[in-house]
């Protein structure tokens, strides 16, 4: 029997574009159509059904919920801000508040307004100013309802998928362009951190907690050669810790948002910048169970990363961890094993204060479409009907008692 700390945040996460539906002013909306990918369309219709979905979360004993605000709804045209959409997000917050669920609000979760991408997206250094203006509008209005802000979701995933691997819009494959985006994202985070704190200070509101969500994975050498060990270290420092380190150095982090799913098996085929970044021996290893996208299930890697983060002396909230699978027994096995490792990290003195499963609902998994099922709650995309999975009930018991049997 493993007991978690009192006041632990328990719940699940979503992001606007993946669940709301009809985000017609977003860059992803036009990109999906242009490249002929499965389109997000009405997604889970969560824009309409959020109250019903939060009631389900409440019945599952969640006391926290992470969601994101869609910038392209708030500012559909450059400089034109929508009071109506702002009101929508205030209603979302009020609905969580009524249920006693603590919101964690993300300001940027991969998608951008189409107008911004036409101006060069995050490669344009003005993106920082535009982002701040949007954040100012949102935070001024919503501050009374929010204690936890997440500025940017997974900056390294955003920039590697969109600017290095070329699989997300704008499909660039350029280290040089990626570096520009990286610099702008860091600056945007640091400035937004200050902006949010200033807004709260001016209104004498209690100090908020501001951080960002970092995608992490366990990097494990296939064979312990010098090349592989070096590449493993480099990937760990760059992909897992780089942004955290920089933001901490700027004193712009109140907590670390940690997203963890899987491992990567590192095998350097030859010396080269690209090889250092992406060579793996993944396909040769069938020794562990996998999710439906083929990602290895590797819960012990989470403990490793949590221990590495201890030195930053910051509270850590697991802002995403989850599995897509048609096998709901495996889903519970996955959650259980990861919670066990989180508990072990807490025992070793890592200050972890919450766990948010990805995701509350099945949803639109970016370029992979609707096939991967990550939800605690099944969504029938034809009827919009929700069905709570057995794994959700088991997790709900942990949320209720703070005890993992
Ligand atoms: C994370 C993303 C999230 C979701 C999960 C499966 O990298 O933040 O939106 O797609 O992966």
Average pLDDT rounded to a whole number, residues 136-146: 98
Distance CA 33, CA 21 (A): 15
Distance CA 231, CA 240 (A): 13
Closest protein CA for atom 7 of ligand 1 = 215
Q: For residue 68, how far is its CA from the centre of ligand 1 (angstroms)?
A: 12
Percent above pLDDT 90 for the chain: 95
CATH number, residue 94: 3.20.20.80
- pLDDT per residue over 61-84, tens digit each? 999 999 999 999 999 999 999 999
Helix (H) / strand (E) element for 212: namely strand 209-221
Instruction: Please check the confidence at residue 293 and state whether its pLDDT lies above 80.
Output: yes
Q: Is there a cis peptide before residue 71, judged by omega within 30 degrees of 0? A: no
List the domain range (segments joined by +) for residue 190.
2-404
Q: For residue 88, how far is its CA from the centre of ligand 1 (angstroms)?
A: 24
Mutation pick for ligand 1 pocket among 156, 259, 372 (CB with most ligand atoms within 8 Å): 259
Average pLDDT rounded to a whole number, residues 181-196: 98
CA 346: distance to chain centroid?
22
Q: Which SS3 state, helix, strand or coil, does residue 352 take?
A: strand
Instruction: Please check the confidence at residue 294 and state whether its pLDDT lies above 90.
Output: yes
Can you give the pTM of this predicted structure?
0.97
Q: Which atom of ligand 1 is nearest to the CA of 153?
A: 8
Distance CA 238, CA 263 (A): 15
Q: For residue 333, how far is its CA from the centre of ligand 1 (angstroms)?
A: 20
- pLDDT per residue over 31-50, tens digit each? 999 999 999 999 999 999 99
Distance CA 339, CA 149 (A): 24
Number of domains in the chain: 1
| DSSP secondary structure letters along 358-382 | E-SB----GGGTT-S---SEEE-TT
Instruction: Please check the confidence at residue 283 and state whether its pLDDT lies above 80.
Output: no
Question: What residues does 379 pair with on adjacent strands?
Answer: 386
Q: For residue 202, how far is its CA from the centre of ligand 1 (angstroms)?
A: 34
CA 225: distance to chain centroid?
33
Q: Is there a cis peptide before residue 153, judged by omega within 30 degrees of 0? A: no
Asked if residues 278 and 235 have their Cβ atoms less than 8 Å apart, the reply is no
**What's the whole-number average pLDDT of the chain?**
96
Distance CA 285, CA 41 (A): 36
Q: Which residues line ligand 1 (CB under 6 A)?
A: 15, 18, 153-154, 157, 215, 259, 320, 358, 365-366, 374
């Amino acid at each position: 029997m493993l007991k978690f700390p009192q006041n632990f945040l328990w719940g699940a996460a979503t992001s606007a574009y993946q669940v709301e539906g009809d985000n017609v002013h977003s860059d992803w909306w036009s990109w999906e159509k242009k490249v002929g990918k499965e389109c997000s369309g009405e997604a889970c219709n969560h824009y309409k059904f959020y109250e019903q979905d939060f009631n389900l979360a409440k019945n599952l004993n969640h006391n926290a919920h992470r969601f994101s605000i869609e910038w392209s709804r708030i500012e559909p045209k450059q400089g034109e801000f929508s009071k109506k959409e702002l009101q929508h997000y205030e209603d979302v917050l009020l609905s969580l508040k009524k249920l006693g669920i603590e919101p964690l609000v993300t300001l940027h979760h991969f998608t951008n307004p189409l107008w911004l991408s036409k101006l060069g997206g995050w490669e344009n250094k003005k993106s920082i100013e535009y982002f701040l203006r949007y954040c100012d509008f949102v935070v001024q209005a919503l501050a009374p309802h929010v204690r936890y802000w997440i500025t940017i979701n997974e900056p390294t995933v955003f920039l590697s998928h969109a600017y290095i691997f070329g699989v997300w819009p704008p499909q660039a494959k350029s280290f040089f362009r990626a570096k520009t985006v990286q610099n702008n994202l860091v600056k945007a985070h640091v400035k937004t951190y200050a902006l949010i704190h200033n807004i709260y200070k001016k209104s004498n509101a209690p100090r908020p907690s501001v951080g960002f969500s970092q995608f992490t994975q366990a990097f494990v050498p296939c064979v312990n050669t010098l090349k592989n060990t070096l590449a493993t270290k480099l990937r760990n420092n760059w992909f897992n810790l780089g942004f955290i380190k920089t933001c901490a150095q700027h004193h712009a982090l109140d907590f670390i948002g940690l997203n963890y799913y899987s491992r990567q098996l590192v095998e350097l085929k030859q010396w080269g910048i690209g090889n250092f970044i992406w060579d793996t021996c993944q396909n040769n290893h069938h020794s562990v169970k996998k999710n439906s996208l083929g990602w290895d299930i590797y819960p012990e890697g989470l403990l490793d990363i949590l221990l590495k983060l201890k030195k930053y002396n910051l509270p850590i909230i697991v802002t995403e961890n989850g599995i897509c699978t048609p096998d709901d027994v495996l889903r519970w096995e996955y959650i259980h094993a990861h919670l066990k490792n989180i508990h072990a990290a807490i025992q070793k003195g890592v200050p972890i204060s919450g766990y948010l499963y990805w995701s509350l609902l099945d949803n639109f998994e970016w370029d992979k479409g609707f096939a991967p099922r990550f939800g605690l709650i099944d969504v029938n995309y034809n009827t919009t009907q929700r069905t709570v999975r057995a794994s959700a009930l088991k997790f709900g018991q942990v949320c209720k008692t703070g005890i993992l049997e």
